[in-house]
Chain A
Amino acid sequence: MDPYQFTKMVGLSTGEKHFIWGGIAQDLRSDGRQRLHYRPISVETGVIPQANGSARVRIGATDVIASIKAELGKPSMHQPGKGKISIFVDCSPTAAPMFEGRGGEELSTELAVALQRCLLGGKSGAGAGIDLSSLIVTEGKICWDLYIDGLVVSSDGNLLDALGAAIKAALSNTGIPKVNVDLGPSPDDQPEVNVSDEEFLQFDTSGVPVIVTLTKVGRHYIVDATSDEESQMSSAVSVSVNRHGHICGLTKRGGAGLDPSVIMDMISVGKHVSEQLITVLDSEISAAEASATD
């Protein structure tokens, strides 16, 4: 993404920019947070009844919805033992004036690609945060295709982390119907499939990573940047970390280059922050699930 795109949108004066820089240098940001503090996160699950799973996550004024739709499909030839997941992101034109018309498309694709990289691992499926082999029904014949859709309702920075959190929450809200398969007499026959309306299998989300974006402004880097702070960034590194502290994916945005040692430093800080984020998110998700069942 063009880092200066946001500058035009927000339009800060030199004085305000200087104030933001100073705040980050002095470890006291405009809303009183320190560099490695997140804004309060709130999670709501089951917001879309038609979907298999859905969740809405709000971080400050950033508001995103993720929905998950499962469909039966055929596994690809190269990976007969694995299901398929595709991620799409849409930026609502109501979120910001720059998303009007085709304005949000570039950002949407970039967010979708970053999410794929952070959650799905490489092309071969290695290092995936979501276990694809759990989506298989009959090897080589039938598997579940998961369509993950993200919608940005309101944008105040840190969209990637919010979308990552929403997808994690939506996955834990997802029930995949139980399937009974009648294999035909010969292996070439199309197997008969019976989808249960009542029995659902819970998705195992313990391995799903969270995404922590570290935005570099000046010499320091911050987590959970607001859009004002994002307009001042030189580059941003997004690390997706799972519960065991393993890095599942890594993306970098922004024009400016980074020294390898800085990246290593950012990764270790991101890993440290992710521990707190996972704890907060887990408690929020279980609270949301509890209130949904009430």
Chain B
Amino acid sequence: MRELQVGLNQTQKVRLQSALRQLEELSSRVSNSSTASVTVADTIPVNLEDGVLKGHGTTEHNGEVVATLCGVVERVNKLVYVRTLRARYKPEIGDIIVGRVIEVAPKRWRLEINFSQDAVLMLSSMNLPDGIQRRRTAVDELNMRSIFEENNVICAEVRGFQHDGSLHLQARSQKYGKLERGQLLTVPPYLVKRRKQHFHYLEQYGVDLILGCNGFIWVGEHIEANEDEMMIDNKSEETGKPDLKFTALEMQEKAFTPFVTRRNICLIANAVRVLSVLGFNLSLEVIIDTVEASSSLNLDIKDMLGAEFCVLTAEREVKRRITLIKKKC
């Protein structure tokens, strides 16, 4: 994520620092002693006589187990490893991700998903537009670009690693597929936690929000699963070329996202931006809460990225966590 720069004045700086300090205290109070956080070269206390298994992020140095990464020490029976707090996205089976097509290859699409390697979506592991279950023919292969083109943003699910180490995706449902009419945001992937729901239709805003586990977040106009997609396909066929740039401008302006929906998309997108600048976990509740806070303050959308709202959001997060802890007690 390219970090947005916020110019804070002196009072705002002090307020932000105190909010962040409070958050730190809260998190240290919640975590018990078993989850010790370590930095590089910290010794991890272990009972060597038990025959410890040194896992990821650990090494032996002068007869001691030493951390080679910053993170939290995790112990599973004899295994000791370090779970990093900030790391590149590591896919797990069943993750819902948003990616961008970078290549149309024989029988497959290659996708950029913020992982150390590109993911592969096989033609055979996705539903065809006609919805019929059948063998993929050579004709289907030739028509692959009519489904996804280069640079298209699509949503899919992690299917698993193949034997050769490549990552495969699948899109066997109506909810997966091409994403249009909206914007893609990139946030650090550790801010998106795995949940039951990653697709959100925010009815009051008319917006689809997809929180990809890989840190790609889609905010777009809501599209009904079945019919609308067909209509869009027809439209692009009528005009002949997908490049609408030089066709009648009048036609195009009618097809633009309605202003109210666009406002909401920008609102939600800016809420996500503010939260990711501050490094807060992105969940639907927090995002909606931030959006509502900005509308209750009657802020201009662009002022959401300003210093004052950033500080306010940090202070709100402190309050939210305090109430959460109180509820638990």
Contacts and interface: CB of A to CB of B under 8 A. Distances in A.
Interface residues of A, number: 34
B5 interface: yes
B58 to A, nearest CB: 31
Contact of B149 (A13, A26, A32, A156): A13
B198 to A, nearest CB: 20
Contact of A28 (B4, B6, B244, B259): B259
Nearest to B185: A30
Interface string B1-39: 011111100000000000000000000000000000000
Contact of B151 (A12, A21, A60): A12
B256 A33 contact: no
B183 A32 contact: no
B243 A15 contact: no
Interface in B249-301: 249, 252-253, 255-257, 259, 262-263, 266-267, 269-270, 273, 300-301
Nearest to A60: B4
A7 B249 CA distance: 21
Given A13-B151, A25-B253, A42-B5, A31 B259 contact: no
A162 B246 CA distance: 31
Interface in A12-56: 12-16, 18-19, 21-23, 25-26, 28-34, 37, 39-42
A29 to B, nearest CB: 8
A285 to B, nearest CB: 13
Nearest to A232: B245
A103 interface: no
Interface residues of B, number: 46
Given A19-B257, A40-B5, A31 B273 contact: yes
Given A11-B100, A26-B256, A42-B5, A31 B182 contact: no
B267 A15 contact: no
Q: Which DSSP category, helix, strand, loop or mixed, fits chain B's interface?
A: mixed
Given A25-B256, A28-B266, A156 B2 contact: yes
B68 interface: no
A41 B244 CA distance: 35
B305 A28 contact: no
A219 interface: yes
A22 B256 contact: yes
Contacts of A21: 245, 252, 256
Contacts of B243: 14
A19 B244 CA distance: 12
A30 B307 CA distance: 19
Given A15-B182, A25-B253, A31 B270 contact: yes
Contacts of A42: 5, 7
Interface in B173-222: 178-184, 220
Given A15-B181, A19-B183, A31-B273, A40 B306 contact: yes
B4 A61 contact: yes
B61 interface: no
B27 to A, nearest CB: 28
A204 B145 CA distance: 59
Contacts of B155: none
B5 A60 contact: yes
5 contacts: A14-B152, A15-B181, A16-B180, A25-B256, A30-B266
Interface of B: 2-7, 100, 102, 149-153, 178-184, 220, 242-245, 249, 252-253, 255-257, 259, 262-263, 266-267, 269-270, 273, 300-302, 304-307
